[in-house]
Chain A
Amino acid sequence: MKRNNLATRTLFPALGLVATLLLSGCSANQEKTLPILGERQVVERQVNGKTVEDTVYLTIPNFAFVDQDSQQVTNQTFANKIYVTDFFFTTCPSICPKMKTQMLRVYDKFKDNPNVLLLSHTIDPQHDTVAVLKDFSERLGVSSDKWHFVTGEKDSIYAIAEKYLVPVKEEKGAEGGFIHGGHFMLIDGERRIRGVYDGTDAAAVDQLLNDIPVLLKEEQHEKK
């Protein structure tokens, strides 16, 4: 009886504490997800006669561009994968070399993971032809299956940039003739924006390198 009391008084609370710690540890891990960025809308929907509220997130619309191998690149290219995307041009003297140096870090870290792809859009399709992009990617020494450098109709590229929330503009006075945001966007398997990072800042790209595995984990859970 006395032993029982001792057990109840000390052992059980101790176990309880351990269990709480373990559980909270678990839930903290599970809770680590990335936010969904961009504008959202709440829409009402009828399910079995009941009104249900649904949140509709900003998604990247359909697109079709051509990459450095003259292959068509569309949303299908990224189906069931996550990707990191940016906007640049090969003759850009200001921020692009830094962006590409940082994107190479993403490439190097995930080059063996088939679920992560990279997509760089030129905003100067007049100069950056398929041949120019091919030369550029070959000099970087990167694989075309992994990192797509795309060109296409200028209007389509500028329109999609807007959807990725990246400011892009042609401006005569600017260095190289264009102004554009140096951001990297992380896109999930449902075409939603899950992260925006300053592609010229190594610390911000460190964050991206940490966020990619978090998103990969989430995508794996959803597939199950």
Chain B
Amino acid sequence: MRKSRMVAVVLGAAALTTLTQCFTEKQNEGLRVYQANCASCHMDDGSGLRGVIPPLANSDYLVKYRKQLPCLVRRGLNGEITVNGISYNKPMPASPKLRDDEIANLLNYLQTNFGNKNERYTMQEVTEYLQYCPRR
């Protein structure tokens, strides 16, 4: 009896460790995708380039255009946008190679870092939004 309880505890601990590691890796994944695809323009701290490239840090755009963001990452952006009251007009390149889950991890990283404390996306949500990306 005692033995089986101990086994259960050990198994539980192992499962927990594995799961935690999974989550940790997922979190790193968002950072990794960000650094590989976004940081050179939006900067490591999400501050952007004054007047030219909009900030992701403390950015109202992330809240206002939450549903559009997955498509924005995949297809890029052209034309004028307003972020925190400042107008920007510089095309953002598309990232067609990013998988749905990479986009989800990236966006969750953005929504919960750089001073942003916004709602996270579920994987399902991101996939759904991506299905309805406007055609170019």
Interface on A for B, CB 8 Å cutoff? 91, 93-95, 97-98, 100-101, 104, 136, 138-141
Contacts and interface: CB of A to CB of B under 8 A. Distances in A.
A97 B51 contact: no
Interface residues of B, number: 14
Interface string B41-61: 111000111111100000000
Nearest to B43: A101
A101 B49 CA distance: 6
B51 A98 contact: no
A95 B41 CA distance: 8
B53 A104 contact: no
Interface in B5-61: 40-43, 47-53
B132 to A, nearest CB: 27
B115 interface: no
- For the complex, would chain B's binding face be called helix, strand, loop or mixed by DSSP majority? loop
Contact of A98 (B43, B52, B91, B93): B43
The residue among A91, A95, A97 with the most chain B CB atoms within 10 A of its own CB is A97
Contacts of A141: 50-51
A86 to B, nearest CB: 14
B52 A93 contact: no
11 contacts: A93-B41, A93-B93, A97-B48, A97-B49, A97-B53, A100-B49, A104-B50, A136-B52, A138-B51, A140-B49, A140-B50
A139 B51 CA distance: 5
Nearest to A136: B52
A214 to B, nearest CB: 27
A208 B23 CA distance: 42
A91 B50 CA distance: 15
B18 to A, nearest CB: 38
B40 A98 contact: yes
A186 B88 CA distance: 31
